[in-house]
């Protein structure tokens, strides 16, 4: 058996999808969209920094709160994505495909 490798240029990536483990709702976020200013009322600590939102805190389908690791991780990935867009063909993502190919000899 042979496992295929998947290679994706940064310029070919655009969307990230978050799956809700409770109701299976999928939220697709456009990495090219700039984060939006926070809609909630700012606390005194938050007024010192710009609060922006890219990832919703809860699933829009069932309103269950997402795992707390999702929001900062996807936000950091979006920031890295924007900083690397100046050199999109110079950055690739590589990984093994989840498909296994049966190689006949």
Percent of the chain at pLDDT exceeding 70: 70
pLDDT of residue 83: 84
How many secondary structure helices (H) and strands (E) does the chain include? 1, 6
pLDDT of residue 49: 45
The helix/strand/coil state of 88 is helix
Q: Are 56 and 42 in contact (CB under 8 A)?
A: no
- Structure token digits, residue 52: 């922006």
pLDDT in tens, 49-99: 444 567 888 898 999 999 989 988 888 888 888 888 888 778 887 887 665
Q: Give domain limits for the chain.
A: 14-87
Asked if residue 23 has pLDDT above 90, the reply is: yes
In this prediction the pTM is: 0.64
Q: How far apart are CA 81 and CA 3, in angstroms?
A: 28
């Amino acid at each position: 058996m042979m496992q295929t490798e998947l290679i994706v240029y940064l310029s070919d990536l655009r969307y990230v999808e978050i799956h809700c483990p409770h109701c299976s709702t999928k939220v697709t976020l456009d990495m090219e969209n700039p984060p939006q200013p926070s809609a909630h009322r700012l606390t005194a600590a938050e007024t010192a920094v710009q609060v922006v939102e890219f990832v919703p805190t809860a699933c829009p389908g069932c309103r269950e709160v997402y795992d707390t690791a999702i929001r900062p991780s996807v936000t950091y990935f979006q920031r890295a994505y924007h900083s690397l867009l100046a050199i999109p063909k110079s950055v690739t993502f590589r990984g093994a495909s989840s498909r296994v190919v049966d190689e006949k000899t």
